[in-house]
Amino acid sequence: MSYSQLRIEIIPGILDTAPRNITFAYSGDPDDAFAFYGLESGAVDMPPGCANKFFSSTVQDLNRRAIRGEVEVSAISSAAYPFMAEKYYISSAGASVGRGYGPLLASKRFARIEDLRGRRVATPGNLTTGNLLFRLACPDAEPVTMPFTEIRGAILRDEVDAGVLIHEELLNYEEAGLSRIACLGEMWSCRTELPLPVGLNVVRRDLGRELAGAIVDRIRASILYGLGHEQIAFAFAERYSIAMKEGIAGNFVGKFANDDTVRMDVDTLRGLRLLLDAACEFNNLPKIAHIDVI
């Protein structure tokens, strides 16, 4: 059965809450925009008494905002969640999951991870999953944080020796003249035999578990709506595309807006557990006793 044939059914509940605005923050890339198209277009209704508003930013900025608890619903890097676990539930809908792929380490001049010892390597932010995986793989390199849209150019101008590529840059780095050193997502999957949950959606705990659950239902319905109406959802998502070559945005959305985005399977939850444990250990934080997924 195709996604367009699915009937999106949201079971109504009695939510004891005053009317309020719910802000959805997502990263400025096509897969997040695709996932939220149903909600942002109004095709999927909000819970009773709630209205939505949206804004997008870099994932590093979203991580920082969520740590401060600024927005009700946000996309974040999975590696950043330990810093905000007390403030947010994890949504079971909306995760970006790589099965054998993920952030990629690329360079113009170097071919091996070992070559990067003492070298300057650009990463899309110290709180990102790509940065965590890179630091674990190459702890002796010098990380240089910058917006992900600037990393490819910085490598080409020799401002850095290599860089961690995310989002659409995973698909167009070769034609820019860069070479792959390693796929950090592939390394993760080979080592753990589990998928890599690169990014998550989180819902603020002060909304209450019932309203948070209703919002997660709407996020899931929004993803299903996009998957069932790909042409208009892709057209909406392409406004966030930095890749001008036709088809790249759609190919990227297909990697990170799919069945794994609709719901978390058991193996994804196991991968998330390992990743969060690694993030806690790397940042000298206590491990999260219970991962609260709605």
Q: What pLDDT is attached to residue 31? A: 77
Confidence of residue 147 (pLDDT cuts 50, 70, 90): confident
Looking at residues 155-161, what average pLDDT do you find? 95
- Does 251 reside within a domain? yes
Q: Are residues 228 and 211 in the same domain?
A: yes
Q: What pLDDT is attached to residue 5? A: 43
Least reliable range by pLDDT among 112-126, 141-155, 249-263: 249-263
* 8 pLDDT above the threshold of 50: no
Q: Are residues 45 and 68 in the same domain?
A: yes
- Does 293 reside within a domain? no
Q: Are residues 227 and 273 in the same domain?
A: yes
Q: What pLDDT is attached to residue 250? A: 52
- Does 287 reside within a domain? no
* 240 pLDDT above the threshold of 70: no
Q: Are residues 92 and 204 in the same domain?
A: yes
What residue numbers bound the domain in which 206 lies?
3-97+195-282
Asked which of 177, 192, 207 is the last residue of a domain, the reply is 192
* 249 pLDDT above the threshold of 60: no
Q: Are residues 207 and 261 in the same domain?
A: yes
**CA atoms of 217 and 239, how far apart (whole Å):** 26
Asked which of 192, 219, 241 is the last residue of a domain, the reply is 192
Closest among 13, 179, 34, 154 to 94, alpha carbons compared: 34
Q: What pLDDT is attached to residue 3? A: 46
Looking at residues 1-8, what average pLDDT do you find? 43
Q: What pLDDT is attached to residue 9? A: 42
- Does 291 reside within a domain? no
Phi and psi at residue 279, to the nearest 5°: -65, -40
Q: Are residues 243 and 181 in the same domain?
A: no
Asked which of 144, 162, 192 is the last residue of a domain, the reply is 192
Backbone dihedral region for residue 207 (phi beyond 0: left; psi -120 to 50: alpha; all else: beta): alpha
**CA atoms of 130 and 169, how far apart (whole Å):** 13
Q: Are residues 110 and 72 in the same domain?
A: no
Q: Are residues 176 and 234 in the same domain?
A: no
pLDDT digits over 110-142, tens only? 999 999 999 999 999 999 999 999 999 999 999
* 105 pLDDT above the threshold of 80: yes
pLDDT digits over 162-206, tens only? 999 987 676 677 777 898 999 999 999 999 999 999 999 999 999
Count structural domains, the chain: 2
User: Which parts of 138-247 fold into alpha helices (H)?
Assistant: 148-156, 169-172, 184-192, 209-228, 230-237
pLDDT digits over 42-88, tens only? 999 999 999 999 999 988 999 999 999 999 999 999 999 999 999 99
Structure tokens at 100: 């054998």
| CATH assignment at residue 70 | 3.40.190.10
Q: What pLDDT is attached to residue 88? A: 98
Q: Are residues 79 and 154 in the same domain?
A: no
Looking at residues 145-151, what average pLDDT do you find? 88
